[in-house]
Structure 1
Amino acid sequence: MANYVKELRSFVGSRPIILVGSTIAVFNDHKEILLQYRSDTRDWGLPGGAMELGESLEETAKRELFEETGLTATSIELIDVLSGEELYFKYPHGDEVYNVIALYIANEVSGKLVMNDGESLDLKYFSLEDLPSQLEGRAKIIIDKHFI
């Protein structure tokens, strides 16, 4: 979790906050989408996370992609900014957020998939026709709206 968010949580506890961040979609040569099996929610989601102070949304997307997957994106494109009641989320430990998500797609990616931040239990590419049943709600909204 971002240091800024940790500090904010020390003041507001688990009450709902507006959380701004980025999500990045990565496709392989077979047009399969990269998903991460998350350690906090125990379901499949897209790489992404909260913006740090002074960081741009694009920087957030690239940082989160690297931290969560080991991949480096040299070219990304803004697809959408999503917000609203359907992006409310309550984490298993009780923290509540209303997400504002800048969605990017990676056009050029390099590196090897590695899990080194403790947020991912697995990383895997999936066909859009054969997504896992344990797909996290926000990821489902994004994939249904933009990729199916």
Structure 2
Amino acid sequence: MKSYIQALREKVGSGLLLCPSVAAVIVDSDGRVLLQEKASGEGWSLPAGAIEPGETPVDAVIREVMEETGYPVSVERILGVFGGEAFRYTYPNGDHVEYVVTLYRCRIVGSQQPINDGETKSLRYFAPADMPDLGLPYPKALLFAASPASVSD
């Protein structure tokens, strides 16, 4: 089945799309943040992706983390919502997008499953001093913030 974004792209080409999306901050016991190295050569990213029609943001972040990392997660809290021109991105194929991203703090709740999405080259935890540049300008201080509080859907 074609994704919502693929269907839109067939109609608008590579023009700018406003895209509601989610991203996950997963921190290990040493305070390092989990990043995904993109197989497309785009570098490192938080596990993230578009919200599909009919999907809640919480369900979207749980799905995206599973697809891109193989880890089942629970959502602990919203860290922030970001957007505007700073969150515009051009993909290697020329597609333009402006993300409105809900950033969630998540916790791994089970064993890693095989990754079959074709988007992930590798996964790695990064400490603040070793954090690579990301495609979108999330505030680094927020990524490494203190322990989360609980949230409900």
Letter in 2 for 1:136: L
Tell whether the 8 Å contact from 2:62 to 2:75 is kept in structure 1 after alignment: no
Tell me what 2:87 maps to. 87
Deviation at 1:110, TM superposition (A): 2.2
Q: Structure 1: give runs of 5+ residues left out of the alignment.
A: none
Conserved 8 A contact 2:23-2:48: yes
- Give % identity: 31
Match of residue 20 from structure 1: 20
2: CA distance, partners of 1:91 / 1:131: 22
CA RMSD after TM alignment? 1.7
User: What is the alpha-carbon distance in structure 2 between the residues aligned to residue 31 and residue 68 of structure 1?
Assistant: 21
User: SS at 2:92's partner residue?
Assistant: coil
Residue in structure 1 matched with residue 50 of structure 2 by the alignment: 50
Kept in 2, the 8 Å contact 1:34–1:126? The answer is yes
1:146 counterpart residue number = 142
Alpha-carbon distance in structure 1 between the residues aligned to 2:62 and 2:7: 23
Structure 2 length normalisation: TM-score? 0.86
Matched residue, 2:134:
136
2:77 counterpart SS class: strand
Alignment size in residue pairs: 143
Asked if the contact 1:77/1:107 (under 8 Å) is kept, the reply is: no
Which whole-Å deviations, capped at 9, do the CAs of 1:98-145 have from their partners, x for residues lacking one?
11000000135322274321111010111112113xx3231xx21425
The question of whether the paired residues in 2 share the 8 Å contact of 1:62 and 1:73 is answered with yes
SS of alignment partner, residue 93 of structure 2:
coil
Name the CA shift for 1:76/1:54 in 2 (closer, same or farther; >3 Å). Answer: same
Distance 2:109 2:90 in 1: 31
Segments of 4+ moved more than 3 angstroms: none
Shift of 1:44: 0.5
Aligned position for 2:147: none
Q: In the alignment, is residue 122 of structure 1 matched against residue 118 of structure 2?
A: no
5+ residue gaps, structure 2, are: 145-153
